[in-house]
Amino acid sequence: MNAHRFRSSTVRDALALARESLGPSALVLGTRLVPAGGWRGWVGIREVELSASVPILVSENRRSDAAEPAAPPTRPPTTDGLVARLMATGLDRDLAEAVVEELPASRRRDASHGQIRDALAICVASLSCQDSALGQVNVFVGPPGVGKTTTIAKIAAQARARGERRFRMVAADGYRVGAVEQLRLYADIIGSPFVVARTPEEVTAAVSGSKLPVLVDTPGLSPANEEAAAFFAAVTALPGVKTHLVVPGATTPRDFDRLWQRFAAAGADRVVLSKVDEAETVMPLIRSIRQRDLRVSLLGFGQRVPEDLVEGAPDVIAGCLLGQVPSLEA
């Protein structure tokens, strides 16, 4: 089966070119985003490249030959076109096909953005925390600069804005004076109790002695570091701990694997996606999270405190994969 390639600014236009050239029965083999030709490519403009082919017709003699294996069934052009559209948004083929299968056949030709998002939400439901995203004790781990301190401040500020119980904020990051002072400033503004814990024993006392739910900001050092390992060991030994690995939305699968291995000893069982607004797509990172059977607890979409943070509900993850920023004002 010979593949022919067609380029245009949208999947719809590329598909129209393919059918004009190859006929209405043209089969879409795949799509991808590529640099535009000429000077447009040099300035960063990209376009859709669609691969398509003409189905091979089987003669009557071959159809009647019992020894000839039956040709595998092909999907209707409408289904292939929708898969191509979804792949152009950044979804991988397996997930795009799963979304299409989730849609009723009668809606695949003219499915709305809302219907596609709802179908995608069903497909990514396993990524969402089955219980609450937060627990009584919440520990945030990850390298410096990924957004641990800002995430903690957003959580505490949102709780206060909703009139819920305050959080106790614990700075176990004695290695970075700036991070401690930043968290202290947030705590003063929000009106949350604040504790600096500079030893494993102080961490244990600050957490176990609190009647309020606790948010713990940890060192940006790997648990392989002897001093940092003592902090992580003290916290993870406490009951009811939920440990969140904080990673930027633009993190590549390779970098995520390195981070996961680096902080594996911290016992993280869920992931916070920070700086999602800075990522072109989070699909590669979501794929890595799915492969490790982890859960997305929270997603951060900017620096505003407390607005730019939402829980990792299936519809939020789906919208994020489709490039739709959720409404953060409610």
Q: What is the mean pLDDT of residues 192-203?
A: 88
Which residue do the tokens 């535009």 mark? 36
Work out whether strand 214-217 and strand 168-171 pair parallel, antiparallel, or are unpaired: parallel
Whether the per-residue pLDDT at 13 is higher than 80: the answer is no
47 CB-near residues (< 8 Å, 6+ apart)? 7, 8, 9, 33, 34, 35, 36
Instruction: Examine the pLDDT at 203 and tell me if it is beyond 50.
Output: yes
- CA distance linking residue 316 with residue 300, whole number of Å: 11
CB 55 within 8 A of CB 19: no
Q: Which domains are present in the chain?
A: 4-123 (no CATH), 127-321 (3.40.50.300)
Mean pLDDT value of segment 85-113:
86
Neighbours of 191 (CB within 10 A): 11
Q: What is the DSSP letter of 323?
A: T
pLDDT number for residue 288: 92
pLDDT for 317? 93
Contact 309, 155 (CB under 8 A): yes
Cβ contact 297:271 at 8 Å? yes
Categorize the per-residue pLDDT at 5 as very low, low, confident or very high, splitting at 50, 70 and 90: confident
Per-residue pLDDT band at 65 (split at 50, 70, 90): very low
Spatial separation of the C-alpha atoms in residues 315 and 319, rounded to whole Å: 6
Kindly report whether the global pTM for this prediction surpasses the value 0.75. no
Residue 247 binned pLDDT confidence (cut-offs 50, 70, 90): very high
Please, what sign has the CA dihedral across residues 5, 6, 7, 10? negative
Range scoring the smallest mean pLDDT among 134-138, 186-190, 255-259, 261-265: 261-265
- pLDDT at site 330: 44
Rg (CA), the chain: 25
More confident residue, 19 or 317: 317
Listed residue (324, 315, 323) closest to 281, CA to CA: 323
DSSP collapsed to 3 states, 118-136: HHHHHHCHHHECCCCCCCC
